[in-house]
Amino acid sequence: MPSLRDIKKRIASIKSTGKITKAMKMVSAAKLRKTQNAMTQARPYAQKIKEILSNISSGVEEGAHPLLTAREIKKIEVLVITSDRGLCGAFNTNVLKKAVLFIKEQEKNGIEVSITTIGKKARDHFKRRKIPIRQSVVDITSSPNIYDKAKDIALGIIELYSNGTIDASSVVFNEFKNVVTQIPTAANMLPIEKIGTEEQSQPKDFIFEPTELEILNDLLPKYVEIQIFRAILESRTSEEAARMVAMENATKNTNELIDKLTLQYNKARQASITAELMDIVGGAAAIEA
């Protein structure tokens, strides 16, 4: 049985841990408000560019632009987004499981896979399993301009697709639903599919100014950039939400553990006092005898 000193030291240690987890929860809560606001502002922009692309793509011919041209898929680029830090529950585990399943499904169909990772957790995961990584980007969420980073990644993937190195590209990330729910999602990026309802997909007679090709050259890469940018923001918001919940649960666990150890300490202290009293009573009885 541990001594009173050992129990007391353990209680003090757990109290210190509880203070840290509580502070981390408060920090994550503050960051969550900031990142959720950025994500909420980006969603309407992403939706609007999707609507514009839907209208324009319905008015152009098949093969009007390389990014709209689907071909037989022999090689695919998979962009996997995780966090750089841990202590966020099952956030990274869930998205990595989704990525591995998606990659295995592609390989099962005879498709070669190349990987781009965002976040140290994804990079380390695939390195440990000796899976080749084409490109690795870390500390992107701490960058003052995330969009520029997303743009650089998008341009690299677009170049690979345009020169025929890859035939498709997808992104795997955690989509934010609410504070307690983040959904691992695999979304197609390239080739860009014609989007919209059956009515929207009917051919339309557009007049392009300056030219159809120039507009598509500007709009289609922008759409890919926005997709990656939005996925990063969704992942970042999901990470802070998951970390806040994880730290809240950790704080509750420390409080429960402190209560149990305090009870154990009081019982041990009571037993020690009782033993001392018994020794005194026994000594007194021996003297009287």
First to last CA, the chain: 35
- The CA distance from 188 to 76, in Å, is 10
Token pair belonging to 148: 């520029």
Residue 236 CA to residue 175 CA, distance in Å, equals 9
Rg (CA), the chain: 29
Residues 6+ apart with CB under 8 A from 128: none
Distance set, CA 134 to CA 117, 165, 280 (Å): 8, 12, 77
Q: Which amino acid is at 272?
A: S
Q: What DSSP state is assigned to residue 85?
A: S
- Taking CA atoms, 8 is separated from 80, 228, 273, in Å, by 45, 51, 16
Residue 88 a catalytic site member = yes
What is the Cα–Cα distance from 136 to 217, expressed in whole angstroms?
27
DSSP letter assigned to residue 204: -
Q: Which listed residue (88, 118, 122, 233) is catalytic?
A: 88
Report, as residue numbers or ranges, the catalytic residues: 88
